[in-house]
Structure 1
Amino acid sequence: MIGLFNDCFPPIMDGVSLTIQNYAYWLNKKAGNVCVVTPSVPDAKDEGTYPVYRYSSIPIPMRKPYRLGFPRIDWPFHARINKLSFDLVHAHCPFSSGSLAMRIARSQHIPLVATFHSKYRSDFERAIPCKKIVDYLIRNVVRFYEMADEVWIPQASVEETLREYGYKGKVEVVDNGNDFADGAPIAELRRVARETLKLSDDEMMFLFVGQHIWEKNLSFLLEALARIKEQSFRMYFIGTGYAASEIKQKACELSLMDKITFVGNITERERLKRYYAAADLFLFPSLYDNAPLVVREAAALHTPSLMIRNSTAAEIISDSSNGFLSTNNVNAYAERITELIRQPRLITKVGDEASRTIARSWENVAEEVYDRYMNLMVRKKL
């Protein structure tokens, strides 16, 4: 059995939980014998073709909808998980699920793969004002990755963050995919999607999908939009998070509510796909993200992203080729949007190239992942 361990899983939606979901689906389809291990969530409906083992958890204050898991004290869960014989475990988080994966790997003498997805220091610093405590927690994160048999990162630029934390070991780059990269014709989907949203032909649509948290640079984005609010555009925000109400309040203070629609969280993938298809530009100025899935999802629907130059997330973007870049300055970002509003043909051309160069299917990624698992299991037995 291959075990995929993470501290969140649908119905909690973020890039990592979607990664786990797609790993599980495609690996199970290819080889079977895959399971997911994750904290419990109220009203979770685990209806996939693979088992999901959940352990006790409580809400994390100020970090809605995430949960703090307690696998050590959940005895019924232990009774179930201890009956399983694993061939390999893959931890996508260094906390409760990662610790559990580490314990199973040691007790069953099997390989542990650990993927580094997130900028944990930023999360710690927001919640903990004491630098010494944050440094201590980061050392624990590094220690976790040092004990793994292989450490994976979703794109090469993420290595810099891991090195900054103090990790000195080897890393392997394993790309993320997306479930919209099916090569379907985009023109009709875009037309229908824009009609549904009642967008006129000459009205630009901008889109942001992701957690509604300040770390995503959303104050920066709102201020940039306020500088161009005389232009003809509609901006859609999709997602939820601890700062959702404050973000709406800021949009109101900037007199942007007639330009912005806050859609809320969307879990139905076909509905989300239509928003990506309708959009002209995906606005993603985050300095917090490592390798955001949403940029790849937008690219799959021929929607190019406008990102911040030299950010970790923007490594896959070549300016005016498969996406657009701006300096980390509100006025510069606003000016770049204005320039692009005047160049719809360039947006279309760059969107097509984004689809060709950025969007990789999860099925293709899972093939690579499975081969890597098999090679590691063989090496571990030598």
Structure 2
Amino acid sequence: MIAPQTPDTVLQTATPAPQHLSPSSEAGTKSPQDSTTPSQNLITPQRQNLTTQPQQNCHSPLTRSYKLIEFRGITLPFLKQYRIGFPALDRRFRRQMAQTQLDIVHAHDPFMAGHEAIRVARRQGIPVVGTFHSKYSDDFQQVTHSKTLARWGVHFIVSFYTKCDQVWTVSNSAADVLRAYGYKGAIEVVENGTDRIEADPEIVRMVSECYGLGELPVLLFVGQMNWKKNVRRILEAVKILVEQGRALKLVLAGQGPSEPEIRALAAAMGLGKLVVFTGHVSDPQVLHGLYARANLLVFPSLYDTAGLVVSEAAALGTPALLVAGSSAAEAVKDGENGFLAKDTPQDLAERIAWALEHPDRLREIGQAARMSIPRPWKDVVAGVLDRYEELIASYESRQR
């Protein structure tokens, strides 16, 4: 949770996101779960940009320095890449919050942190925004192996967002998911930001040496090592390419609960020597180096509600290959600023082969992605601040 140290304040809440690789990546970073202390850091990198960027935006009354108010949490034993917090049981946190006057509350998850956001907002008589990020039904079913429990979980999710004064999603596809869950209210799409980055040749060289990439073409996946990310499809496609006699490296960047099984499958397919598992990468420069070194980001996930890693790769001029119709592919036009394929190993392999056989065109598509896909954080934050101020004014007028 965050709050400016002024009367003009915003509270943001978030349950721990998956362990990530970089300060803006879907695949890794020094986020809450990386901490060895019992305190739960509630600002994940994308949300942190919404709290640090306003300090550079002088036109708004919400441009102040921020403090972090933490509450305690524990690692989930069955999903060790996640932590869950208990704000209602943390007296220090509750005491600090009682002393902090806010103007608006923004919840980034519908669980304990989200319900604490509702409690704080109602107590102070201020509006609350809820952002919907994830296909929770898939998560519930993966953990419980029960469609009935997954349906109950979805009902819980919808009930939370119904209590919010305004609901945002990170993409049009995410809005469709929330509506499919049964949410009937208005939804506003507020995309994540990504700033364009210039590749550092020395970092790229060091990354290439560190991971033994040599001069071979590099395919990159950035995300949780989790079957729900469709990693199996990447391995199947690469096996086809190898059987065709193509030399390449596949870098799987991230960590997650399925990593031992993914490693075992890669070995069983005879891909052990060409697949590089980076594990958790905490240094953003290393991730930037991987993006810049890669010829193509391969991200066939059908689970994700937004293509954040697609934007991050594009910010460094690396195009992405995605499954046509997936949420992550929302900003991609096939053959113009990226590539789209059917969700089959054969089609993925064909698109990868074409990309690697046309390096000049691949670079042109990468540059088109760089110019068309990333949206600078300053633009995102300016829009967010405007929305906050409009909602605050509207809420206050209704209370009079």
TM-score (norm 1): 0.90
For each residue in 1:98-144, what CA deviation from the matched residue of structure 2 results, as whole angstroms up to 9, or x when unmatched? 11111111111111111111000000000112322211110110111
Letter in 2 for 1:150: Q
Indicate the SS of the match to 1:168: coil
- 1:347 paired residue number: 362
Indicate the SS of the match to 2:219: strand
1:150 aligns with 2:199: no
For each residue in 1:128-167, what CA deviation from the matched residue of structure 2 results, as whole angstroms up to 9, or x when unmatched? 1232221111011011111111111112122211111001
- 1:40 paired residue number: none
* Matched positions, count: 366
1:332 aligns with 2:347: yes
- Indicate conservation of the 8 Å contact 2:299/2:321, yes or no: yes
Indicate the SS of the match to 1:231: coil
Letter in 2 for 1:6: A
- 2:250 paired residue number: 235
* Aligned with 1:161 (options 155, 174, 177): 177
CA RMSD of aligned residues (A): 2.3
Indicate the SS of the match to 1:125: helix
Summarize the alignment of residues 115-126 of structure 1 with structure 2, pairs less than 5 Å apart: 115-126=131-142
Measure the CA separation in 2 of the matches of 1:93 and 1:249.
34
Measure the CA separation in 2 of the matches of 1:134 and 1:377.
35
Change (3 A) 1:232 1:12: closer
For each residue in 1:308-340, what CA deviation from the matched residue of structure 2 results, as whole angstroms up to 9, or x when unmatched? 011121111100111100001111111221122
- 1:38 paired residue number: none
TM-score (norm 2): 0.86
- 1:7 paired residue number: 15
User: Which consecutive unaligned segments of at least 5 residues does structure 1 have?
Assistant: 36-48
Measure the CA separation in 1 of the matches of 2:113 and 2:171.
23
* Aligned with 1:75 (options 87, 91, 97): 91
User: Equivalent pairs: percent with the same residue?
Assistant: 36
1:214 aligns with 2:222: no
Change (3 A) 1:355 1:345: same
* Aligned with 1:224 (options 213, 230, 237): 237
1:308 aligns with 2:323: yes
Indicate the SS of the match to 1:157: helix
Measure the CA separation in 1 of the matches of 2:283 and 2:149.
39
Measure the CA separation in 2 of the matches of 1:94 and 1:199.
41
Change (3 A) 1:33 1:11: farther
Measure the CA separation in 1 of the matches of 2:247 and 2:271.
12
Change (3 A) 1:27 1:219: same
- 2:29 paired residue number: none
Change (3 A) 1:101 1:29: farther
Letter in 2 for 1:220: R
- TM-superposed deviation, 1:378: 1.0
Indicate the SS of the match to 1:325: strand
Letter in 1 for 2:13: F
Summarize the alignment of residues 12-27 of structure 1 with structure 2, pairs less than 5 Å apart: 15=26, 17-27=44-54
Summarize the alignment of residues 45-84 of structure 1 with structure 2, pairs less than 5 Å apart: 50-84=66-100
- Indicate conservation of the 8 Å contact 2:203/2:285, yes or no: no
Moved more, 293-302 or 221-230: 221-230
Change (3 A) 1:34 1:261: farther
For each residue in 1:215-247, what CA deviation from the matched residue of structure 2 results, as whole angstroms up to 9, or x when unmatched? 000111111111112312111111111111111
- TM-superposed deviation, 1:29: 4.1
- 2:30 paired residue number: none
- Indicate conservation of the 8 Å contact 1:110/1:377, yes or no: yes
For each residue in 1:66-87, what CA deviation from the matched residue of structure 2 results, as whole angstroms up to 9, or x when unmatched? 1121111111211112111111
